[in-house]
Amino acid sequence: MNNTLIKGLRLLEVLAARTQALGVSELAQELEMGPSNVHRLLQALVETGYVVNEGGRGGYRATLKVWELGAQALHKLDFRETAAPAMRMLLAQTNETVHLSVLSGEEVIYVDKLDSPEPIRAYSVIGGRAPAYCVATGKALLAWREQTSINLMTVRPLQMFTPSTLADTSVLALELERVRQQGYAVNRGEWRASVWGIAAPVFDGSRRVVAAIGISGPTARIRSRGIKVLGELVMVAADQASALPAA
């Protein structure tokens, strides 16, 4: 595989994830690359329009061209349109933020969402990522992934984000088995301590998991409604969204 291409993509990913411009030395340190190498890659990205140099400030940032690529890919996810009615129904029933997520490696990507009308609500952005083992949609996706147990036991050490994070792979494996048995996953403040979530898998016509639909909200509100009650609502919405053609 082309090593220069890999380094250039890593560089672009770092810039796309940051809100502020970054200098050559900052990027070199984060990517563990030589400054001259970073500068050459930046020049190529500037020439192709993916990065802009903010002049006198000496910083580089990703341009909207990166967003345009992501938007084009997002429009190809046909199940977003199929899941839309189920998401609207779930929002009306729960008044909590509704997410539609897909699995990307060890992370979930939020491909669609509906915001809660409540003044205090779970914050997220379409295109945002989260560790799959820490959020409800991620656990719903992991629970039905093939060879889950093997993948869990060989993954690098899991990071603790809150005191509730299931960073022990054996404990996480038991949690995913529980998810498969009950049909929905629960995030009990494992990614953001003040936010809980509930999610269930979305299947295509071949009964293959293609996404997960779920809700997220402040801990107190989710707990007061009852996990089992909300779990039933989420599973109904996921079933409705699962009327999908085979990919």
pLDDT digit string, tens, across residues 35-73: 888 888 888 888 888 888 876 566 888 877 776 666 555
pLDDT digit string, tens, across residues 220-235: 999 999 999 999 999 9
Last residue of a domain, one of 69, 99, 127: 69
DSSP element (H, E) containing 218: strand 209-218
Q: What are phi and psi of 145, to 5 degrees?
A: -75, 145
| Structural domain contains residue 14 | yes
176 and 203 inside one domain: yes
Measured between alpha carbons, how far is 126 from 98 in angstroms, rounded to an integer?
A: 11
Count of domains forming the chain: 2
32 and 143 inside one domain: no
Cβ burial 50-82 (10 Å sphere, 16+ → b, else e): bbbeeeeeebbebbeebeeeeeeeeeebebbeb
| Structural domain contains residue 127 | yes
Q: What are phi and psi of 199, to 5 degrees?
A: -150, 160
What pTM, to 2 d.p., does this model score?
A: 0.68
| Mean pLDDT estimate for the chain | 84
115 and 36 inside one domain: no
- Could you tell me the CATH number of the domain that includes residue 169? 3.30.450.40
**Strand ranges (E), 105-241:** 107-114, 129-131, 185-188, 195-203, 209-218
Structure tokens at 68: 């345009």
89 and 200 inside one domain: yes
133 and 42 inside one domain: no
Contact 209, 133 (CB under 8 A): no
- Could you tell me the CATH number of the domain that includes residue 38? 1.10.10.10
